[in-house]
Structures are given as C-alpha cells and as structure tokens.
C-alpha cells in the first residue's frame, strides 16, 4: 500500500469521531455518552431550555447526560468547577441497557463567572466537559 500511515491515522481519528465519549475495557463493557447538555431545568427526564449562559435569577443550572449502551451497572460523576475550583462532585449510578440522569446546583450571587462540568467514569476518565457562565 502506498500510504499506510495515512490509512492508520484515518482509522484512528475516524473512530474517535464516531465514538467520541466512550469508556470501558476492550471486552465489550463500553459505556457511551450519547448526550450531554447544560439546561435550565429537567421535565419528565428531558432537558429544557439548553444554554451556556445562566442568570442567577433562574436560580438553577442543570447538567443532563444520557448513556447508551450501558452494558452493566456503572457509576459516573458530574464534577462541577467554578473558576477552576471544585464546587461539587455528584455520583450517579447508571443501569442497563441505557440510562439518563442529571445533577443541578442552586445559583447564588457568589456563583457569577465561568463554570465547567467534567463528566467522568469511576476511574476519573473524562467522557466530556461542558462549559458555561453564570451572570447577574
């Protein structure tokens, strides 16, 4: 083959594009994050009003995540950071065959500024990072 390195890189990065937020072993116990969104509220386990800017007047910021597949019961965490300082670490249990869950925080005047939520597995591997801001 004339360009073996090109094809190897294409296969490697192509698979990252197809399966960007998965964690697990090679034995088929892969948990895949299929949706991650910041929103103002959750109704009927559905995120409402997705946003990246929250007003403290709304008083709540929610992080919604959905996983599919979930081959076996597993634990994930939502790590909330305000200005790069840990604010909350919320443990969520996932159950087969697919699962969605969320965590939320109550907003105060002291919370104005940049935030992020790191979604990780039990070993600390990051599925995804969501960034947002809190304003007056």
Question: In this structure, what CATH number is given to the domain that contains residue 22?
Answer: 2.60.40.2550
Tell me the HSE value of 76 on the side-chain side, using a 13 A CA sphere. 32
Q: Residue 9: which domain range?
A: 4-135
Mean pLDDT of the residues in the chain: 85
Structure tokens at 118: 């790191």
For residue 119, list its beta bridge partners.
78, 128
Token pair recorded at residue 7: 């094809």
The domain tally of the chain equals 1
Per-residue model confidence (pLDDT) at position 14? 38
Q: Which two tokens stand for residue 45?
A: 């386990």
pLDDT, residue 49, reads 96
CA distance 75 to 124: 11
User: Does residue 31 contact residue 23 with C-beta atoms inside 8 Å?
Assistant: yes
3-class SS at 6? helix
> Tens digit of pLDDT for each residue in 110-127?
999 999 999 999 999 999
**pLDDT score at 102:** 98
Distance CA 39, CA 48 (A): 6
Q: What is the pLDDT of residue 87?
A: 97
Q: What is the pLDDT of residue 29?
A: 74
Is the pLDDT at 27 greater than 70, yes or no? no
> Hunting for tokens 């005047």 — which residue is that?
109
State phi, psi for 11 to the nearest 5 degrees: -65, -40
């Amino acid at each position: 083959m004339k360009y073996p390195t090109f094809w190897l890189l294409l296969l490697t990065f192509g698979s990252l594009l197809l399966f960007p937020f998965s964690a697990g072993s090679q034995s088929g116990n892969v948990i895949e994050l299929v949706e991650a969104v910041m929103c103002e509220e959750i109704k009927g386990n559905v995120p409402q009003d997705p946003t990246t800017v929250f007003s403290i007047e709304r008083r709540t910021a929610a992080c919604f995540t959905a996983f599919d597949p979930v081959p076996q019961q597993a634990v994930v965490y939502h790590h909330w950071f305000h200005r790069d300082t840990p604010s909350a670490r919320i443990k969520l249990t996932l159950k087969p065959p697919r699962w969605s869950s969320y965590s939320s925080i109550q907003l105060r005047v002291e919370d104005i500024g940049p935030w992020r939520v790191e979604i990780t597995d039990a070993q600390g591997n990051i599925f995804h990072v969501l960034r947002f801001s809190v304003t007056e």
